[in-house]
């Protein structure tokens, strides 16, 4: 029987799919590790405590894959209830008892959990590998379905792609992926390969769109994604920005600022007002995921540099 229990938080949304996945891992010796307690929702914290109790376990360690509001805020109240220590990436600004030592083993009970530095979605993201069940806990680096938002300033494309490649090479023995949202993935290696290929294909599409004459991010978004589902355009725009920053740094793409003001449609794509779109309650999570607190005041035209 698996030592890993998935307890899904009741916070479904466009950003969180069916909700945030929290995991309660039986570490042996009567101890449990919780990965990502999720947002502060009392009945979800109740469910985590009950899951451990039903298996005669004490929650002694809470690990945070990253600090986003759908993953981390439950740590403080869960710690208050259980006395567990809270560990996160050294770059995290979430209140905690200590840093998870990167690229080292964390002993809990009779388990050795490998803590993996996994930048890209955020720069304070860890993944966790549990060798007995060959389980890779990926947080928001890889989800059970769909793809992940990689958006500046919190995230960056090349570090993200390097993290995916690292999963494929250093954790080639991983069998299952336990992501931050969506179902558990039974073929870990196929999913990692799919994610790597998706990013490469998207970048190729971006370069093709530049060759085809698209210049600004709104033009690129329309050229690549078409006119369906405009609700997704702001997220697409921030993905484009993440690629373009990398391509400009590498000298593949050149950018110059346009002298004109943005149109209303360009503003809606580049600097959406989330509170009026998704409501004040959901706006902070969308802002954190898409990085739209970073306002893009200048419209740039991009072209291939060579
Ligand atoms: Zn996230």
Q: What is the pLDDT of residue 218?
A: 97
Q: What is the pLDDT of residue 229?
A: 84
Cis peptide before 153 (omega within 30 of 0): yes
Rounded distance, CA 301 to CA 236, Å?
Answer: 17
Q: Could you tell me the pLDDT band of residue 281, with boundaries at 50, 70 and 90?
A: confident
Q: What is the pLDDT of residue 13?
A: 86
Distance 2 CA to ligand 1 centre (A): 26
For the segment 256-276, what is each residue's pLDDT rounded down to a tens digit? 999 999 999 999 999 998 888
Q: What is the pLDDT of residue 277?
A: 87
Specify the 3-state DSSP secondary structure of 133.
Answer: coil
Question: Between residues 286 and 185, which one has the greater pLDDT?
Answer: 185
Mean local confidence (pLDDT), 187-195:
98
Tell me the β-bridge partners of 115.
104, 128
Distance 287 CA to ligand 1 centre (A): 11
Rounded distance, CA 156 to CA 195, Å?
Answer: 15
Q: What is the pLDDT of residue 198?
A: 97
DSSP string, 55-111: TT-EEEEEE-S---TTTSTTHHHHHHHH--EEEE-TT--S--SEEPPTTEEEEETTE
Rounded distance, CA 237 to CA 254, Å?
Answer: 17
For the segment 88-127, what is each residue's pLDDT rounded down to a tens digit? 999 999 999 999 999 999 999 999 999 999 999 999 999 9
Distance 228 CA to ligand 1 centre (A): 25
Residue 160 pLDDT > 80, yes or no? yes
Q: What is the pLDDT of residue 14?
A: 81
Mean local confidence (pLDDT), 196-207:
98
Residue 306 pLDDT > 80, yes or no? no
Domains of the chain: 4-199 (3.60.15.10), 213-304 (no CATH)
Q: What is the pLDDT of residue 67?
A: 97
Q: What is the pLDDT of residue 1?
A: 83
Q: Could you tell me the pLDDT band of residue 15, with boundaries at 50, 70 and 90?
A: confident
Q: What is the pLDDT of residue 76?
A: 98
Q: Could you tell me the pLDDT band of residue 231, with boundaries at 50, 70 and 90?
A: confident
Highest-confidence range of 9-18, 78-87, 229-238, 274-283, by mean pLDDT?
Answer: 78-87
- Percent of the chain topping pLDDT 70: 100
Q: What is the pLDDT of residue 212?
A: 97
Distance 9 CA to ligand 1 centre (A): 14
Distance 289 CA to ligand 1 centre (A): 6
Distance 208 CA to ligand 1 centre (A): 29
Residue 188 pLDDT > 90, yes or no? yes
Q: What is the pLDDT of residue 106?
A: 98
Distance 66 CA to ligand 1 centre (A): 7
What's the mean pLDDT when you consider all of the chain?
Answer: 96
Rounded distance, CA 62 to CA 294, Å?
Answer: 30
Distance 44 CA to ligand 1 centre (A): 19
Q: 141, 150, 142, 119: which is closest to 236 by C-alpha?
A: 150
Q: Which residue stretches of 171-280 are H helix?
A: 188-211, 217-225, 233-249, 264-270, 274-278
Residue 176 pLDDT > 80, yes or no? yes
Q: Can you count the helices (H) and strands (E) in the chain?
A: 9, 13
Q: What is the pLDDT of residue 201?
A: 97
pTM for the full predicted model: 0.95
Q: Are 270 and 292 in contact (CB under 8 A)?
A: no
Q: What is the pLDDT of residue 150?
A: 95
Q: What is the pLDDT of residue 278?
A: 87
């Amino acid at each position: 029987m698996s030592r890993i229990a998935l307890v899904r938080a009741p916070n479904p949304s466009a950003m969180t799919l069916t909700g945030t996945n929290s995991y309660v891992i039986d570490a042996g010796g009567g101890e449990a590790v919780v990965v990502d307690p999720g947002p502060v929702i009392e009945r979800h914290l109740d469910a985590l405590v009950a899951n451990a109790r039903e298996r005669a376990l004490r929650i002694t360690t809470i690990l945070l894959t990253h600090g986003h509001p759908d993953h981390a805020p439950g740590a403080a109240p869960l710690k208050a209830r259980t006395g567990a220590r809270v560990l996160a990436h050294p770059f995290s600004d979430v209140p905690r008892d200590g840093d998870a030592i990167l690229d080292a083993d964390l002993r809990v009970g009779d388990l050795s959990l490998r803590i993996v530095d996994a930048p890209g979605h955020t720069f304070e993201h860890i993944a966790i590998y549990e060798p007995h069940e060959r389980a890779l806990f990926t947080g928001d680096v890889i989800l059970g379905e769909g793809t992940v938002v990689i958006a500046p300033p919190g995230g960056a494309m090349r570090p993200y792609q390097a993290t995916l490649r690292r999963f494929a090479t250093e954790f080639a023995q991983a069998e299952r992926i336990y992501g931050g949202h969506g179902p558990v993935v039974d073929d870990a290696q196929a999913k990692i390969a799919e994610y790597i290929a998706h990013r490469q294909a998207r970048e190729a599409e971006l370069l093709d769109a530049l060759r085809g004459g698209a210049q600004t991010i709104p033009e690129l978004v329309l050229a690549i994604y078409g006119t369906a589902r405009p609700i997704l355009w702001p997220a697409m725009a921030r993905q484009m920005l993440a690629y373009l920053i990398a391509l400009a740094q590498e000298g593949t793409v050149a950018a110059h600022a346009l002298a004109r003001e943005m149109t209303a449609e360009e503003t809606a794509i580049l600097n959406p007002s989330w509170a009026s779109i998704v409501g004040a309650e959901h706006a902070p999570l969308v802002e954190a995921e898409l990085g739209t607190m970073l306002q893009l005041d200048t419209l740039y035209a991009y072209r291939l540099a060579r």
